[in-house]
Amino acid sequence: MKTKLMTVVVLMILFNNMVQAEWNSFRPREEAETPVPKPAGEIPNLTAEEVEKAKNEEDRKRFEEAAKRLEEETKRIAEEEAQRQAEEEKERKAAEAAEAAEAAEAAKLLEAEMKRIAEEEAQRQAEEEEKRKAAEARANDYPELSLTMAKVLYLLRDDPENSHRTFSFYPEVSGWHIFQTYGPSDTVMEIYHNEQSIVNTGKSDGDDGHDNNELQHKYLEAGERYVIQVYLQSRSWSGKAILNVRAEEPFREYESHLTVGLAKKFWLSTDDYDQTHFTTTFTPETTGRYNIETYSADEDTVMEIYHPDGYSMVASGESDGDRGVDNEELQVKTFEVGKTYTIQVYMEDFDNDGYAWVHVWRSTWDPITLAN
C-alpha cells in the first residue's frame, strides 16, 4: 500500500514539473520569439500569439490526459486496496472461524477426555472399594484353604466348636479342583457357593475317597468364594482328619515340572510304548516332608520315586502299595531343597488305557498314619 501511494505522489510531482517546464518555455513577453521550423511542403503563416495558443492547448490536453491517468491510477489503487482489505477481512474472518472451530473441537475433546478420566477414576475407585470390601470380607471369613498346605482337623461331635470345621477357598484360576479328606474317621463334606451346596445329592457322604473319606471333584471359577465344611458321620463321636485341595493342570501341561498343589494330567496306554508310563520331576523349594499321590481312570497305578543319585526311594514292594484312593498310590517322602526328584507312574493292569494324575502336596500330619 505504501509503495502504491508513493508511486502516485511521484507521478503528481513529475506531472507538475512537466507542466511548469512547458509554461516556462513559452513566455512571449519575456523570451525572444523563436521561428517555428517550417514543415516540408507547407508554408507557415502563424503568429506568435497563435503559436502560444497552440502550445497552451497542447499543454492543456497533456494535463487533462495526465489528470485522467492519475484519476484512473488512483481509482485502480483504491480498488486494489479495497479488494486487498476485503480479502484480508475475509481471511481474518476465516481464520477466526477456524480458530473458533478448533477451539470448540479442542473444548469438546477436552470435555470428552475429562469425562473419560472421571469415569475411569470412578470405576477405579469402585473397583478398589469392591476389592477393599472383598479383602475385608475375606480377612473376616473362615480360615482359608491353600493349595500349598493341607488343613488338619480335630473333630468332636458333642463339642459345638469342634463338631465341624468350616473353611473358605478362593481359587486363583478357573478349572477343576479336588477336595479330599484323609484319615481313619468317617467324614462328611459339603461345598457351598453363593450359599448353595454344589455337592451332588447323596454325595456329601459318598465315601469316594480312601475308605470312608470324601473326595469331591468340582469346576471352580477364579476369584469366587467357596465354603467347605467337614464333619463326622453320625456314627462317629470323635476323630482326626486332613483336608486337602488341589487344582488340575490342563492336559497338555504334562511336559512341565510338578508344582505343589497342582495335579498333572496325562494319558497312559498299553498299546503305545511311549505312553506305557509317565515320567516327571519335582524340585522342592524347602526341605521337608512331601506327599506324592496318584489317581487314574483305571483306579490302579504303580509309582516309583527316584533320588537325584539314581536309586529308588520307594521300599521294595511298595511301588504298588495301594495306599491311595482304592488301588492308587500315596507315598510320603522327605525331599531336600534344590534337588530334583524323578517320579514315574504306570498302570498296574497292562490291558487298560486311560487318564491318570499325579500331584505333590504337603501337610503337617502324615496322611497315612496321621502322625505329626
- What contacts 349, CB < 8 A, 6 or more positions away? 298, 300
Asked if the model's pLDDT at residue 7 lies above 70, the reply is no
Q: Which CATH number fits domain 143-248: 3.40.50.10490, 2.60.120.380, 3.40.30.120, 3.40.47.10?
A: 2.60.120.380
d(CA 364, CA 372): 6
Return the CATH class of domain 251-372: mainly beta
Binned at pLDDT 50, 70 and 90, residue 92 comes out as: very high
Determine the average pLDDT of the residues in 160-182: 94
Asked if the model's pLDDT at residue 122 lies above 90, the reply is yes
d(CA 139, CA 309): 45
d(CA 125, CA 120): 8
Residue 194 dihedral angles phi and psi, to the nearest 5°: 55, 40
Block residue for cell numbers 484319615: 183
What residues does each domain of the chain span? 2-33+44-135, 143-248, 251-372
DSSP of 114-168: HHHHHHHHHHHHHHHHHHHHHHHHHHTSSPBP-SSS-EEEEEETT-TTTSEEEEE
Residue 336: which of 294, 308, 367 has the closest Cα? 308
Average confidence score pLDDT of the chain:
86
Query: Residue 12's pLDDT is what?
Result: 56
Helix (H) or strand (E) holding 97: helix 48-139
Report yes or no: 256 and 301 within 8 Å, Cβ to Cβ: no
Q: pLDDT exceeding 90 applies to what percent of the chain?
A: 57
Q: Kindly report the pTM of this predicted structure.
A: 0.68
Binned at pLDDT 50, 70 and 90, residue 314 comes out as: very high
DSSP of 251-276: GGGGGSPPBTTEEEEEEEETT-GGGS
Determine the average pLDDT of the residues in 184-208: 92
Asked if the model's pLDDT at residue 110 lies above 80, the reply is yes
Highest mean predicted confidence (pLDDT) among 9-13, 298-302, 337-341: 337-341
Asked if the model's pLDDT at residue 26 lies above 50, the reply is no
Asked if the model's pLDDT at residue 96 lies above 50, the reply is yes
* CATH topology match: 143-248 vs 251-372: yes
d(CA 361, CA 115): 50
Report yes or no: 17 and 66 within 8 Å, Cβ to Cβ: no
65: Cα separation from own chain's centroid: 84
Residue 362 neighbours by CB distance under 10 Å? 19
Question: Cα(first)–Cα(last) distance of the chain, in Å?
Answer: 106
Q: What is the tens place of the pLDDT at every residue in 249-288? A: 987 777 789 999 999 999 888 777 778 889 999 999 999 9
Residue type, 269: S
Asked if the model's pLDDT at residue 244 lies above 90, the reply is yes
